[in-house]
Each structure stands twice: as structure tokens, then as C-alpha cells.
Amino acid sequence: MVIKGITLKFKIKETLRVGASFGVTSGAITTMGLMVGLYAGTRSLKAVVGGVLTIAIADAFSDALGMHVHEESENEHTPAEIWESTIATFVSKFIFAASFLVPVALFDLNTAIIASVLWGLSLVAIISLLIARDQKAAPYKIIGEHVFIAMAVIFITALAGLWINSFVR
């Protein structure tokens, strides 16, 4: 960050960076996919809100446990580092998944879905840019790859929702 000619560098602990980047990315992609799929399949505000809350709670715990087990299995981290990654994953996943409720509270459901997709793709792009900078890599490649995958999830879950809606009444 540059402020009036002064360059400030923020050093984030590796354990927190890993947990937060995983949590934000997973939270964005999972929640977008769920919202789009539920909307395509039901057009129900209750289903979308219930789905987002379920993701924010259950998937945040699930991903945090997954991160915990992964970090333990590497056998390279202290218990404190493992718990830092675990907690960072849970908190970031919960907060960012729950943040998708803001457009639902502010707009009609159709507009909220569009706003949520834009919000989620923005989150994926920002995390991807930070990763590219950290790796000193071309940002467009990493951002493009990650946004493409997120858009594929959105497209596939929309098709799944439409397919389910076509025969489940």
C-alpha cells in the first residue's frame, strides 16, 4: 500500500493467509453455486436464504475441519498454527458466505442473485490478484483461471436447478 510516497507492507501470518484465502474462495464459489442452483430450481426466497445460512454454518465448519485435518496431516505445523488456519478458515468462510444475504435483504430475488454473482466473482478476482502478486505471476492468468472455474460452477448449478425443476414438483 502506498500513502503519500510511503510504501507500507503488511505481513500476514502464513497460517492466517492460507485459512482466509481458502475460506473466502470456497465461501464465494460454494455460495454462488448454491444460490444460483436454488433460484433456478425453485425461485423461492425461503430456499435461497435457508441455503445460504446452511452453507454459512455447516460448510464453514466442514471446511474448517478439512483444513484442520489437512494441516495436521502435513506434519509441518505446530498445534497453534493448525488452529490458526482452522479458525481463519471458519471465520472467513462464515462471514463471506453470510455476506451473500446482504443483496437478498436489499433487492428483489432476481436482482439479488445477479448482485450476489457479481459480488462472488469480485471476491474470487481479488483473492486471485493477491495470489498473483504474492507469486509474482501474471495476474490475468490466475484471475482468468479462477473466475472461469467459478463461472463454470455457476453455469452447472443453474443447469442442475433447471433440470430438477423440470421434473420435481
What is the tens place of the pLDDT at every residue in 93-134?
A: 999 999 999 999 999 999 999 999 999 999 999 999 999 998
What is the pLDDT, as a whole number, of residue 21? 81
pLDDT tens-digit map of 134-156: 899 999 999 999 999 999 999 99
Contacts of 118 (CB under 8 A, 6+ apart): none
The answer on pLDDT for 7 being more than 70 is no
What is the pLDDT, as a whole number, of residue 17? 73
pLDDT tens-digit map of 28-87: 999 999 999 999 999 999 999 999 999 999 999 999 999 899 989 988 889 998 998 899
